Structure 1
Amino acid sequence: MVLGNVGTAAHAQSSVTLYGIVDSAILYTSKTLDLANGQNAGHQFSLITGGQAPSLFGLKGEEDLGGGMKAIFELESGIDLSTGGLTDSNGNFFGRQAWVGLTGSFGTAKAGVQYSPFVLSLIATDPRSVSYFGSGVPLYISNVFVTGIFNSNAISYTSPTIAGLQGSAMLALGGTAGDFQAGRQYSASLNYTLGQFKISAAMYSGNSGGTAATTPVPSTVAFSGRTVGASYRFGDLTMKALFVNFKTAGSFDNRIYGGGLNYRVTPAVDIDAGVWYTSDGNDTSNHSIMAATGLTYSLSKATAIYGQLGYVYNHGLMNTGLSTNGALFGVAGSTVGVAAGIRHSF
Structure 2
Amino acid sequence: MSSSYRRKRIAVVVGTLLGTIGTAAHAQSSVTLFGIADSAILYTSKTLDLANGHNAGHQFSLITGGLAPSVFGLKGVEDLGGGMKAIFELESGIDLSTGALTDSNGNLFGRQAWIGLTGGFGTVKAGVQYSPFALSLIATDPRNVSYFGSGVPLYISNVFVTGIFNSNSISYTSPMIAGLQGSAMLALGGAAGDFQAGRQYSASLNYTLGPFMVSAAMYSGNSGGTAATTPVPSTVAFSGRTIGASYRIGDLTMKASFINFKTAGSFDNRIYGGGLSYRVTPATNIDAGVWYTSDGNDTSNHSIMAASGLTYNLSKATALYTQLGYVYNHGRMNTGLSTNGALFGVAGSTVGVAAGIRHIF
How far has the Cα of 1:25 moved from its partner? Answer: 0.2
How far has the Cα of 1:152 moved from its partner? Answer: 0.1
Counterpart of 1:26? 41
Query: Match for 2:295 among 269, 280, 286?
Result: 280
Counterpart of 1:323? 338
Q: 1:121 to 1:7 in 2, by over 3 A?
A: farther
**Within-5 A mapping of 1:51-66:** 51-66=66-81
Query: Rg: which structure is higher?
Result: 2
Task: After superposition, give the CA deviation of every residue in 1:196-227 in whole Å (9 maximum; x if it has no partner).
Answer: 00000000000000000000000000000000
**Within-5 A mapping of 1:214-293:** 214-293=229-308
How far has the Cα of 1:92 moved from its partner? Answer: 0.2
Matched, 1:303 2:328: no
Matched, 1:143 2:152: no
Query: Match for 1:48 among 63, 66, 70?
Result: 63
**CA distance, structure 2, for counterparts of residue 184 and residue 269 of structure 1:** 43
**CA distance, structure 1, for counterparts of residue 221 and residue 235 of structure 2:** 7
Q: After the TM superposition, which parts of structure 1 deviate over 3 Å for at least 4 consecutive aligned residues?
A: 6-12
SS in structure 1 at match of 2:324: strand
How far has the Cα of 1:178 moved from its partner? Answer: 1.2
Judge conservation of contact 1:23–1:52 (CA < 8 Å) in 2.
yes
**CA distance, structure 2, for counterparts of residue 33 and residue 181 of structure 1:** 36
Counterpart of 1:3? none
- Count of matched residue positions in the alignment of Structure 1 and Structure 2: 341
Counterpart of 1:37? 52
Q: 1:80 to 1:219 in 2, by over 3 A?
A: same
> Which 5+ residue runs of structure 1 have no aligned equivalent?
1-5
SS in structure 2 at match of 1:284: coil
Matched, 1:170 2:171: no
How far has the Cα of 1:13 moved from its partner? Answer: 1.5
**CA distance, structure 2, for counterparts of residue 123 and residue 7 of structure 1:** 40
**CA distance, structure 2, for counterparts of residue 33 and residue 11 of structure 1:** 53
Q: CA RMSD in A?
A: 1.1
| TM-score normalised by length of structure 1 | 0.97
**CA distance, structure 2, for counterparts of residue 343 and residue 175 of structure 1:** 37
Q: 1:67 to 1:39 in 2, by over 3 A?
A: same
**Structure with more helix by fraction:** 2
Judge conservation of contact 1:229–1:242 (CA < 8 Å) in 2.
yes
Q: 1:46 to 1:11 in 2, by over 3 A?
A: closer
SS in structure 1 at match of 2:281: coil
**CA distance, structure 2, for counterparts of residue 105 and residue 7 of structure 1:** 27
**CA distance, structure 1, for counterparts of residue 355 and residue 308 of structure 2:** 12
Matched, 1:86 2:101: yes
